[in-house]
Structure 1
Amino acid sequence: MSMLGRTAQNLFWLSRYVERAENMARLLEVGYRMSLTSRREGGASEHLISMMRAAEVDEAFGATGRQADLDTVAHYMMFDAGNPSSVYSCLMAARTNARSVRTAITIDMWESLNAGWLEFSQIKPRDVRGAKLLGLLSWVKQLSHEFRGALLGTILRDDGFAFSQAGNFVERADNTARILDVKYYVLLPRAKMVGGDLDIQQWTLILRAASAHRSYLHVYHDRYKAHNIADFLMLRPEMPRSLIFCARYIEDTLDSLAGIYGKRQECQEAAAQLCAMVSNTNMETIFAHGLHEFLTEFIARNNRVSETLSASYNFY
């Protein structure tokens, strides 16, 4: 018997919102640390705006008329209920979805998410600045890890698990592409910086945002190089936040749904196309044709996976 479309939708978006809360924290950390490295007048604001552009919240932030300083941007990304991608909005949406499918998730999943939400909702935004902001960003990532651990350790490996995992990796793929795109936006006006100390420092921050700086050194045994960092975050299949790892996981997960329901649909084809995009290329080709263009196309194809999954399994 097939799962109800509403239940499948709630499980998919529950996982997406938890992952998105973590990813907003990761993006904000990149913007924050990059703004600290900037020595140019107005540079800090530029880094923060590029981070919001990658998250596709820059226009909405601009419409508020507020100045793009660190405290204001951090509040917008963390606590603003009017920003649907803020950590506050994501955690609230995740909890709402979880409450709608209490019988389809485990007690451990619900308790980890509910306790996290209650703790986050007690935080006073005005108290979160400087080192306390970095501490809170780490806490958000930890909350996501706890929920993910509860899911992986307790949920049945059925269609509910498949929809949950699809949501997680569709969101993660989107975020890794956006974190890489922050780099593109930061360097775009200043080609002379490419390969310089600041360039490498920013690429290193990108690795840290993906919790990948130590594993990078384990794989490459080398100093940080832009080509290798991009390769690690895009085309290394053993790196769990890389584009190719996520795309392969999405394809396998959607294939498992086809097996469960005995029918392949449009979403399986969309997942296969996403996977082929990162499987049949190399970094030389990507850089030659444009990193930003490649990432934009990848994000669009990843979005198509989500849209066709929704249509194929009657989300509403």
Structure 2
Amino acid sequence: MLSRTASDLYWMSRYLERAENLARMLDISYSLSLMPQDGRGDGLHELAMPLLITGTLDDYLERHGELHAERLLHFFALDAANPASIYSCLGAARASAHAVRGRITADMWENINATWLEIRGIANQGLSRYGMSRFCEWIKERSHLFRGASYGTIMRNDAFRFIRLGTFIERADNTLRLLDARYEMAGDQAEAVSDGTAHAYYQWSALLRALSSFEAYTEIYRDAPGARHVAELLLLRADVPRSLRACTEEIDQILAQLPGANGRPAQRLAAEMDARLRYTGISEILDEGLHTWLTEFIPLVRQLGNAIHSSYLEAA
């Protein structure tokens, strides 16, 4: 497969996954901002969390000057001038899909093209009129439909593998960043939730729901959500679809199936990351410090993405 084609397939799926992850991030921040803040401000701090997680705070302040709820939501959802917005991600995904129209199925193309046309209509209508929660649910639904169309209609060839590769790289990065942000937000109460600290309880519950893992948590654990069990679930459980371990396991298997010797650096790094998670216990992570461990692992995901790019996506 040509590196240009592989790159378009890879980034098509990354941008779609990023749009869904942004919707999940925005939904959790919006929901928590509507709750009583218990002396923690007026909810704008919660709405500003996506700016901190994505590194777009300076860009927002340069354009808008101050934090404002309506402008914050528009900036992340429908602002065409913000390259990190959901609108821009879907536009980039559609452009990549158009470039590889002959390598994806009709069902996949129709889904992504219809999603792009519909979000343009929502942008014209306005987010306040459409509804924030409804918008986030719609984004997640469209992403699920595309993933279902991909899994159910495309041949199991290299095109399929690069699509899946982009999904899991983006998902791993998002899970790490969301967990780190919520741990920092819980602050001194991060470990004390089982003692009845309502704010931390809602922080962890909202995070689990944002990553579609609340039901998995209640099935595995009896305690109220707290740092130890939530981190174990989202980092080390291979049977939880959005966990870091599940993502690295998929990436390792996908890279092993790609032909050629050029991919060995990426394959080696993926195998090392998967082995590290496979043989690490949550006590080791917490002894090191959850925030410290997460901030050390986030660059590894970026490094793996760079290795994949240089191995497969750059023109020889």
Q: 3-state DSSP class of the match of 2:128? A: coil
Aligned residue number for residue 283 of structure 2:
284
Q: 3-state DSSP class of the match of 2:48? A: helix
CA contact (8 A) 1:177 1:295 kept: yes
CA shift for structure 1 position 255: 0.7
Aligned residue number for residue 32 of structure 1:
30
Alpha-carbon distance in 2 for matches of 1:40, 1:125: 37
Alpha-carbon distance in 2 for matches of 1:310, 1:92: 21
Q: TM-score, normalised by structure 1?
A: 0.92
Q: Tell me if 1:23 matches 2:21.
A: yes
Aligned residue number for residue 63 of structure 1:
62
Alpha-carbon distance in 2 for matches of 1:31, 1:125: 24
What RMSD over aligned residues (CA atoms) do the two structures have, in Å? Answer: 2.0
Change (3 A) 1:204 1:4: same
Aligned residue number for residue 234 of structure 1:
235
Moved more, 129-138 or 292-301: 129-138
CA shift for structure 1 position 299: 1.6
CA contact (8 A) 2:263 2:312 kept: no
Change (3 A) 1:147 1:105: same
CA contact (8 A) 1:30 1:51 kept: no
Moved more, 220-229 or 240-249: 220-229
Change (3 A) 1:60 1:113: same
Give the gaps of 5 or more residues in structure 2: none
CA shift for structure 1 position 280: 2.5
- Listed as ranges, the matches of 1:19-98 within 5 Å are 19-37=17-35, 38-40=37-39, 42-98=41-97
Change (3 A) 1:201 1:128: same
CA shift for structure 1 position 289: 1.5
CA shift for structure 1 position 126: 6.6
Percent identity at matched positions?
37
CA shift for structure 1 position 295: 1.6
| Matched positions, count | 311
Alpha-carbon distance in 2 for matches of 1:15, 1:168: 5
Q: TM-score, normalised by structure 2?
A: 0.92
1:237-296, CA deviations, whole angstroms, 9 ceiling, x for partnerless residues?
100000000011111111111xx3366521101211221332221222212212222222
Alpha-carbon distance in 2 for matches of 1:42, 1:175: 26
* Letter of the structure 2 residue corresponding to residue 267 of structure 1: A
Change (3 A) 1:227 1:272: same
* Letter of the structure 2 residue corresponding to residue 207 of structure 1: L
* Letter of the structure 1 residue corresponding to residue 226 of structure 2: K
Change (3 A) 1:131 1:281: farther
Give the gaps of 5 or more residues in structure 1: none
Alpha-carbon distance in 1 for matches of 2:144, 2:70: 26
